[in-house]
Amino acid sequence: MSSNDPQGYKKTLNSPYTGLKGWIDSRLPLVRMMEAEYLKFPVPKSLNYFWSFGGIAMFCLIGLILTGIFLGFHYKPSADEAFDSVERIMRDVNYGWLIRYLHANLVSFFFIATFIHIFRALYFGSYKAPRELVYLFGLTMFVLMMGTAFLGYTLPWGQMSYWGATVITNLFSAIPFVGDAILTLLLGDFNVGDSTINRFYVLHWLLAFSIVGLVVFHVITLHMTGSNNPTGSEPQSWDETVSFHPYVTIKDLNATIFFFIILAFVLFYYPNILGHSDNYIRANPMVTPAHIVPEWYFLPFYAILRAIPDKLGGVLAMFGSIAALGLLPWLDTSKVRSCLFRPVWRICVLLFAINFFVLMYMGGKPAEGIYVLISRIGTVYWFLFIFVLAPLVGFLETPRQPLSITNYLKAKKA
């Protein structure tokens, strides 16, 4: 439309709806947007269940925020009262035990869903052009998630809360020149204490809602490019897509219910299995636990931290391991996206996933002997994968010709 035709331009903004829906839509285009993005939005029809984990992660996030609000009604962020207020939630608040166990276990399942979601992105090449920003927003959310989870774990003010907070915040003192100043600012004191828990509580909320904000960007960028799919080939016609609703919604609903059955099993029968028994001991600055272990989802990164003999080096390696993943869209030189058609890269990605679990195991072991050696090998592979294998394999490998979505589905049936 030309700039001297403001009326014509305005007409394009008119709502297609009438009545109340039209009244709202012509003032706030939410109805239009929801219809375009969540009902009619075309999605490749070849998606497998790996593609359900983004939605599952979102449900986890919603659950965490809802339970978090109810916990916040009763929780007291102070060194003297935090532990007792959590126990009051567990014992005296109606269904407080359910809300708190849900909150504690949903985090773990949020991480499980997110790890699978990230693996999916690596395996099927979802990070490659034109989806680099989708991927980068996702990685940023993952970093914020780790921050939020760490802050949240300090709040019950048990022994692991306290000592975990002490060890992890101490990492910041490794930063040259300003490290100690940053540490003091972070703790609000020279030690982890009352002012620390107070500000960690505020930051826990702040980061949690920042994740929600980034989800919006993650989804907007995704909806500009459309979903990737197992073939990595873009849909060539409407015939190769289905509408988001009801096809994807019902599929994701199935996956979500299945996922939540597993969550319910852990939640109701083994609610403490993913936690540490030391956290049922009140925080005590005078007694250090024999082994200070972070939550299971931090273990791979903890292993990388400890693999480097130098403190600053370890901190850089730990944060660098995630930051480096953000370079993958530009370091991977292959034209083909999906591992289904990249035999060599496929092995590298699977090894990366195995390496992730090996590092996770090493992170839970004391930093000595063979454990450190294996952690070092794992750390080397992590960076080798990103900085050497990604560019090199892309050059040297001869990928197979990727199938179109239609042919892929045909081949799958046969």
Partner 1 sequence: MRVLFITILSLISLNMFAAGSKIDIPKYDWSWKGFFGTYDRASAQRGLKVYREVCAGCHSMDLIAYRNLEDLGFSEAHIKAIAAEYLIPDGPNEEGEMFEREAIPSDRFANPYPNVQAARAANNGAYPPDLSLIVKARPKGADYLKALLLGYVEAPAGKDIPEGQYYNQYMEGNLIAMPSPLSEGIVEYDDGTEATLDQMATDVTTFLAWAAEPSLEDRKRIGLKVILFLFVLLILAYISKQQIWRDIK
Contact criterion met (CB below 8 Å) for 25 and 17: yes
Residues 167, 170: Cα–Cα separation, whole Å: 5
> One of 25, 240, 278, 295 is an active-site residue; which one?
295
Stretch that binds partner 1, among 18-26, 74-82, 90-98, 103-111 (CB under 8 A): 90-98
Instruction: Kindly state whether residue 31 participates in binding partner 1, applying the rule CB under 8 A.
Output: no
Task: Please list, in sequence order, all residues whose beta carbon lies within 8 angstroms of the beta carbon of residue 264, skipping any fewer than 6 positions away.
Answer: none
Contacts of 367 (CB under 8 A, 6+ apart): 306, 375
Residues near 325 by beta carbon (within 8 Å), at least 6 away in sequence = 139, 386
What is the crossing angle of helices 179-187 and 159-170, to 10°? 150
Binding mask 244-273 for partner 1 (x = CB under 8 A): --xx--xx-xx--xx-xx--xx-xxx-xx-
One residue of 47, 58, 168, 242 binding partner 1 per CB under 8 A: 242
Region near partner 1 per CB under 8 A, out of 52-60, 74-82, 131-139, 276-284: 276-284
d(CA 382, CA 353): 10
Binding-residue pattern over the window 96 to 125 for partner 1, x denoting contact by CB under 8 A: -xx--x------------------------
Q: Is residue 252 annotated as part of the catalytic site, yes or no?
A: yes
| Nearest CB to partner 1, comparing residues 191 and 284 | 284
Window 280-309: contact mask with partner 1 (x via CB under 8 A): xx--------x-------------------
Contacts with partner 1, 49-88, as mask; x by CB under 8 A = -----------------------------------x--x-
User: Smallest distance, Å, CB 391 to partner 1?
Assistant: 25
Minimum Å gap between C-beta 398 and partner 1 is 23
Residues 6+ apart with CB under 8 A from 105: 263, 266, 267, 271, 274
Between helices 194-225 and 53-74, what is the axis angle to 10°?
150
Longest CA span, the chain: 76
| Residue 310 near partner 1 by CB under 8 A | no
CB of 15 to partner 1, least distance (A): 29
Per-residue b or e along 366-381, where b marks 16 or more CB atoms closer than 10 Å to that residue's CB: eeeeebbebbbebbeb
Q: Report how many residues bind partner 1 under the rule CB under 8 A.
A: 40
Least distance between partner 1 and beta carbon 281 (Å): 5
Q: Which helix (H) or strand (E) holds 406?
A: helix 405-413
Going from the C-alpha of 144 to that of each of 96, 140, 151, the distances in angstroms are 27, 6, 10
CA 131 – CA 314 distance, rounded (Å): 31
- Give whichever of 79 and 316 is closer to partner 1, judged by the CB atom: 79
Among positions 334-393, residues that touch partner 1 (CB under 8 A) are 350, 353-354, 357-358, 360-361, 364
Q: Answer yes or no: 227 catalytic.
A: yes
Distance from C-alpha of 57 to C-alpha of 67, rounded to nearest angstrom: 15
Residues that bind partner 1 (CB under 8 A): 45, 84, 87, 90-91, 97-98, 101, 242, 246-247, 250-251, 253-254, 257-258, 260-261, 264-265, 267-269, 271-272, 277-278, 280-281, 290, 350, 353-354, 357-358, 360-361, 364, 409
Active site residues per annotation? 223, 227, 251-252, 295
